[in-house]
Structure formats: C-alpha cells, structure tokens
C-alpha cells in the first residue's frame, strides 16, 4: 500500500506544475520568454520533489518520475530549459552522494538529452497526435538507456531488472497520460481564446451592419459638395484644404469597406481553384503599385496547387498581406512569394519581405481589430485576411525579426 501511495505522490507532483501554469500563468503572463522561465522553474521544483520522495523498493531500489518534468520542460521550453533541468538533476543527485546511481544518472543524461533536444523543434511544429508519439518514444528511449547502464554498472540481477522494467512501464504510461492531459488543456485554452475573439468580432460585425451604410451616405454627399466647391479660380490654399478633406473622406470610406468586408455574411461559394494561378494574378495586379515604391516582387510558383476555396476572397487576403509587405519597406526592397505543396497535405504560400520587421509582442497582436503598425492603418485588412484563411480551414504563421523582415506562411488544405 505504501508503494501505491508513493507512486500517487509522484503523479501529484507532476500534475501540480501543469495545474499552476494553466490556472495562474497563461492568463497573467503574456511574454512567451517569461512563460518559459516560469515553467522551467515549476518543472525544476517538480524534479526536486520527485527525487526527494521516490518510490522505495527495499534498501537500494529508488524509482521516481523525474524523466517527465525533464521531458516536458525540454520539449515545451526549448534548449536552455533542457540544459537547466538536466544540470539541476545532476547537482541534486550529487547532493545524495557519489555512487553507482549518480554515474547512472550522468551517463543516461549524456546519451538522452541531445536526442530530446534534437526532437524539440519537430515536437514544437507537430500536431497533438504526433506530439504524443514523440514524447512517449523519448520517454521509452530514456528508460531503456537508463536500464542498459543500470545493468552495466550494477551487473545482471533478476530482482533489479524486474524493478527497472516496472519503472519503465510506469514512466511510459505516465508520460502518455500527462502529454495527453497537457495537450488537451492547451487546446481548451486556445478554443476559449478563439471564442473570446469570435465574440469581439461578432460585435464588430453587428455594428458594421447597423452603422456602416448610414455613415457612408452623408460622407458621399459631403464629398460631392467639396468637389463642386473646388473651382479653378479658388486660391491654392483653399484647393489644398479641399483636396485634403476629400482624401480623408476617401480614407474613411476605405475603412468602412474593410468593415463591410468583415461584417458581410459568409456565403459558401467555394470551388476547386489553382492557388498558383491566383498568386500570379495577385502579383500582376500589384506590379504597378510596387514600381512607385522601388519594390521588386520575385515569385516562385509551383503548378497544380489545388485547394477548395473562393478565388476572390483568397486574392483579397493575399493582396492585403502583400501590400503590408510592400509598405513595410519605405526604402524599397524585395518581396519573395512562393507557392509549394508540403508533405503533410497543405499548399504553402510563403510571403517574405525585407521590411522593418516586428517584435514577438507585435506578432501576437496581429489580426486584432484596430491594431496596425502603420500610422494611418486600422488593422482591419489584416483581420479580414486572417478570417478568410480560417474560413478555408487554413492557418497563418508569422515569423519576423526587427529591422530584418517578416515572413507570412499561409497553409491551406490541398485537394487532388
């Protein structure tokens, strides 16, 4: 019975960091860097407790689940988190004294940590099912390496082998359970965040349907009278004022158009389209726009990139993103746009510029209403683009570095 209680205590020590992180950290800490630091500390505390309260089998056998905090910290936190947790394990194990167990710990980490860190990037890019497989596979690998060194250092013993096999089975099953638990909670948080954004956007949509046309009508009347007042014999100063007023009315009209594009009910008139053809059309449309800004577009388009979507909406999303790329280079530059297929069943549209770039905080706010890096921008164009891509069951990834450039990766489900 005491062994069962010890195992349950080990499980509780691993659940606590997950509970604390998703309950208190995700809502209050917005920076990914700070989140990783806090999570590494939480996993470090879990490791210390797991090693302090092991499951004891007789006098020499001590089993604990430190592999799970190490694995989770390395896979979710990255390289430095893995190094920190490994160093913590070695130093705390050294505190108990130099013995065969200490050498076993060090040798096991030397052979397993590089493999865990090697799979970290693949883990970060993968979906839930593949993440579960990677985590369980790495847990099994760690336990097998530990078992091998155990036999080499201690010699072959049936009793010890039985204990280690029990530990291996329990560790792998616990890893499978906790990775599914962690991923499920992450999905719930993402869905809640998307639901909150959807509610905000629904309110905006209702406002547009009520006010947009009513605002546009007096604006058009005002613009018409301003044009009538713009007579040839007016002083230049007054002409300048009139042109400025007309320009501002036109800009307000563009904002209303963006509102209407967002607020329009979505009609499912999708069809089978060739993305490569649509991308080339967008490039041709924007050629004249780039000439005045000393910007060159370099396309690299693969044939037969078929998806199920609405061509007009797709073009609208691509034009919005490419215009942002062009306008992010006030001194000119190059915009690369590629269209290829991926091994996991997506059509990948890559738009990369040499512009001013963005910080991680700015990237996280992309697609939010009224958030724009341009002085006269409203952010509605980007918001509409994100909505269009999501309506095609696609996704957008953004990579950017300040003063280096930005890369938009649009992934859309491929059809044959």
- Residue 234: φ, ψ to 5°: -70, 150
In whole angstroms, give the CA distance from residue 263 to residue 74.
43
pLDDT of residue 115: 94
Give the mean pLDDT of 346-373. Answer: 80
Structure tokens at 319: 């034009």
Which residue has better confidence, 109 or 207?
Answer: 109
Confidence grade of residue 293 (pLDDT, cut at 50, 70, 90): confident
Confidence grade of residue 95 (pLDDT, cut at 50, 70, 90): confident
pTM above 0.75, yes or no: no
- Output the average pLDDT for the chain: 83
pLDDT of residue 250: 79
Give the mean pLDDT of 124-153. Answer: 88
Q: What is the pLDDT of residues 19-76, one digit of tens each?
A: 888 888 877 777 777 888 899 999 999 999 988 888 776 555 667 888 999 999 999 9
β-strand partners of 61: 57
β-strand partners of 336: 298, 352
Which residue has better confidence, 103 or 125?
Answer: 103
Q: Which of 162-166, 198-202, 354-358 is the least confident region? A: 198-202
Q: Is the pLDDT of residue 1 over 60?
A: no
pLDDT of residue 156: 73
pLDDT of residue 200: 66
Structure tokens at 119: 């799979």
Confidence grade of residue 109 (pLDDT, cut at 50, 70, 90): very high
Q: Is 325 exposed, middle or buried (0-12, 13-18, 19+ CB in 10 A)?
A: buried
Q: What is the pLDDT of residues 233-268, one digit of tens each?
A: 778 888 788 888 887 787 777 767 666 665 554 556
Q: Is the pLDDT of residue 375 over 60?
A: no
């Amino acid at each position: 019975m005491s062994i069962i209680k010890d195992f349950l205590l080990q499980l509780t020590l691993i659940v606590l960091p997950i509970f604390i992180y998703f309950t208190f950290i995700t809502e209050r800490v917005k920076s990914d860097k700070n989140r990783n630091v806090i999570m590494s500390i939480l996993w470090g505390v879990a490791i210390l407790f797991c090693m302090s309260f092991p499951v004891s089998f007789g006098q020499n056998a001590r089993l604990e689940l430190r592999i799970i905090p190490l694995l989770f910290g390395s896979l979710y936190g990255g390289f430095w988190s893995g190094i920190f947790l490994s160093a913590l394990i070695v130093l705390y194990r050294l505190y108990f004294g130099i013995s065969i167990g200490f050498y076993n710990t060090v040798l096991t980490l030397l052979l397993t940590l590089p493999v865990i860190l090697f799979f970290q990037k693949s883990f970060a890019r993968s979906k839930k099912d593949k993440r579960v497989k990677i985590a369980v596979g790495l847990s099994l690998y760690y336990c097998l390496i530990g078992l091998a060194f155990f036999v080499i250092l201690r010699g072959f013993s049936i009793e010890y082998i039985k204990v280690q096999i029990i530990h291996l089975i329990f560790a792998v099953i616990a890893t499978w359970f906790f990775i599914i638990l962690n991923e499920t909670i992450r999905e719930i948080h993402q869905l809640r965040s998307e639901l909150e954004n959807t509610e905000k956007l629904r309110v905006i949509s209702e406002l547009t349907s009520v006010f947009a046309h009513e605002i546009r009508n007096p604006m058009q009347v005002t613009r018409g009278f301003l044009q009538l007042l713009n007579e040839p014999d007016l002083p230049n100063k007054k002409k300048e004022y009139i042109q400025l007023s007309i320009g501002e009315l036109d800009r307000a009209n563009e904002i209303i158009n963006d509102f209407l594009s967002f607020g329009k009910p979505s009609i499912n008139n999708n069809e089978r389209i060739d993305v490569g053809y649509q991308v080339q059309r967008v490039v041709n449309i924007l050629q004249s726009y780039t000439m005045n800004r000393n910007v060159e577009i370099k396309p690299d388009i693969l044939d037969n990139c078929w998806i199920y979507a609405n061509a007009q909406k797709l073009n609208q999303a691509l034009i919005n993103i490419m215009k942002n790329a062009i306008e992010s280079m006030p001194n000119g530059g190059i915009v690369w746009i590629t269209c290829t297929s991926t091994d996991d069943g997506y059509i990948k549209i890559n738009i990369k510029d040499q512009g001013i770039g963005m910080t991680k905080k700015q990237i996280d706010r992309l697609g939010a209403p009224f958030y724009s890096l341009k002085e006269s921008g409203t952010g509605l164009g980007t918001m509409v683009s994100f909505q269009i891509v999501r309506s095609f069951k696609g996704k957008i990834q953004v990579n950017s570095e300040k003063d280096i450039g930005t890369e938009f990766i649009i992934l859309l489900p491929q059809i044959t």
